[in-house]
Amino acid sequence: MSLNLNRRNLLVTGGAVATMASVSGTAFAQNTPAASTAATPADTSGVPNNEKRINIVTLRDLEAEAKKVMAPFGYAYVSGGAGDEWTMRENLAAFNRWVINADFMNGTGAGDTTTTLLGSKISYPAITAPVGNQGSVHAKADEPNVKGTGAAGTLFCASSVSQLSLEEIAAASDGPKWFQLYIPSDRGFARELLQRAKAAGYKAIVVTADVDVTSNRERSMRLQGAALPNLKMGNAPKTPGGKGSAMDMKGNMSWSDIEFCRQESGLPVIIKSILSPTQALQALRYGCSAVWLSNHGGRQLDNSPSAMTTLPRVAAAVKGRMPIIVDGGILRGQDVFRALALGASAVALGRPTLYGSALGGALGVQAVHSHLKTELNMVMRLAGTPNIKSITRDFVARAEGEAG
Ligand SMILES: Cc1cc2nc3c(=O)[nH]c(=O)nc-3n(C[C@H](O)[C@H](O)[C@H](O)COP(=O)(O)O)c2cc1C
């Protein structure tokens, strides 16, 4: 079985659909605008449509619970990583190389988790990461996630390969939102999306850089033959005569694309996928307003490092000149705390919000964020840090031998 890595079916961050299509040797019809408008109705049978309160003891339990209600295609798509999934496991392992050293007896009381991220006030320093193809997770696609995130008082980042249009997502919640863009290869369509994002009220553009090709997501490839929902793409050109598709992405991105995005949207631009101090400094030089350290949840380049491993060096290079966002494997209040202590301004959650959506819709997503916020608050109380600003480098140390 060989991977057919051609441009047309490699363009989806969702990868599962594309990869499965490529493995079976069939063209992935959605990758062309003509095919996408003429698409057969989505077969979303088996995709949950839950809207209910869920009880969470720990976010660590969610994947196993969600697996029971998700369609096999949706579960493989969400839970899997690339290749050997080393990076996906490393994202979890990297946190436990750091211990938290509490400052007892310092007279601090109740914790305040609120913070501000690029001008948006949020209830705690964790936001919802962009995720494409949420129609494989919940029958209402992106809607539960944006609503639940807003209800929890934090920021939602919409993916450009969503099932709902960017305007529908914007209208679903009053909470702060960013728009993540896979820059389309058609410049006109790229311009249109950037202008529409600004008009719809998004507060920043997040450019994701690590999907030149979709990787080998083998859990999905093994499901060859399972029923695939034919998910429609929400973001198609609206300009009369407009060409392009959200999944037809520019494969040769460079730093000049950042300037294009800034000019066309008039919004701050954040680059996502950075994993080195050198690249973070380039991001500063090319006018990015923030840098988002991410390996795409271990779904793209396997054996790339975790954001947590690179964070201390990136923070030392950036020296507070722009916010740093970190994602990958965040499941605990302790994880948020350790990322902040090492220099992050906020973290982002991918899979946990999807499992929350599958299990409980908007209420499920809200519960995920509320639970993590409560846990962070507990960690802050136990560590002796009354507010987000007080979580500094002094509170963490390398696990080996320094905890004493
Ligand atoms: C199912 C799925 C789809 C994703 N789609 C996108 C996407 O459309 N755009 C993007 O920038 N990142 C995408 N990501 C990566 C997330 O934004 C985020 O970097 C990652 O999920 C964080 O790791 P975590 O899932 O361990 O929290 C996706 C991740 C998952 C799990």
For the question of residue 138 being annotated catalytic, the response is: no
Contact 275, 304 (CB under 8 A): yes
How many helices and strands in the chain, by DSSP H and E? Answer: 15, 12
For 263, residues 6+ apart whose C-beta sits below 8 A from its C-beta are none
The protein residue with its alpha carbon nearest to ligand 1, atom 21, reads 350
Q: What residues pair up with 290 in beta bridges, in sequence order?
A: 270
Contact 124, 373 (CB under 8 A): yes
Read off the amino acid at residue 340. Answer: L
User: Rounded distance, CA 272 to CA 249, Å?
Assistant: 16
pLDDT of residue 6: 27
- Report, as an integer, the average pLDDT of 42-49: 80
Question: Regarding predicted confidence, which is higher, 224 or 342?
Answer: 342
- Which residue carries 């659909």 as its tokens? 17
User: Can you tell me which atom of ligand 1 is nearest the CA of 328?
Assistant: 23
Which mutation among 10, 47, 296 tests ligand 1's pocket best, with the greatest number of atoms within 8 A of CB? 296
How do strand 177-181 and strand 205-208 relate by DSSP bridges?
Answer: parallel
pLDDT of residue 42: 54
Q: What is the pLDDT of residues 301-357, one digit of tens each?
A: 999 999 999 999 999 999 999 999 999 999 999 999 999 999 999 999 999 999 999
Question: 226: closest CA among 359, 105, 46?
Answer: 46
Q: Three-state DSSP class for 398?
A: strand
User: Can you tell me which atom of ligand 1 is nearest the CA of 294?
Assistant: 19
pTM above 0.75, yes or no: yes
Q: Which domains does the chain have, with CATH numbers?
A: 8-402 (3.20.20.70)
User: Rounded distance, CA 180 to CA 9, Å?
Assistant: 20
Mean pLDDT across the chain, nearest whole number?
Answer: 88
Q: E-strand spans in 91-165?
A: 98-100, 115-117, 120-122, 126-128, 156-159
| Angle (CA) 347 198 201, round 5° | 70
Ligand 1 centroid from CA 124, angstroms: 20
Q: What is the pLDDT of residues 264-294, one digit of tens each?
A: 999 999 999 999 999 999 999 999 999 999 9
The protein residue with its alpha carbon nearest to ligand 1, atom 13, reads 131
Examine the pLDDT at 131 and tell me if it is beyond 60.
yes
Q: Report DSSP letters for 147-216, one per residue.
A: HHHHHTT--EEEETT-SS-HHHHHHT-SS-EEEEE--BSSHHHHHHHHHHHHHTT---EEEE-S-SS---
pLDDT of residue 163: 96
Contact 202, 177 (CB under 8 A): yes
φ, ψ of residue 325 in degrees (nearest 5): -110, 145
Measured from CB, residues less than 6 Å from any atom of ligand 1 are 13-14, 77-78, 91, 129-132, 159, 161, 180, 208, 272, 294, 296-297, 299, 327-330, 349-351
Per-residue pLDDT band at 24 (split at 50, 70, 90):
very low
The protein residue with its alpha carbon nearest to ligand 1, atom 28, reads 131
Min mean pLDDT across 42-56, 67-81, 187-201, 381-395 is at 42-56
Per-residue pLDDT band at 177 (split at 50, 70, 90):
very high
Ligand 1 centroid from CA 67, angstroms: 18
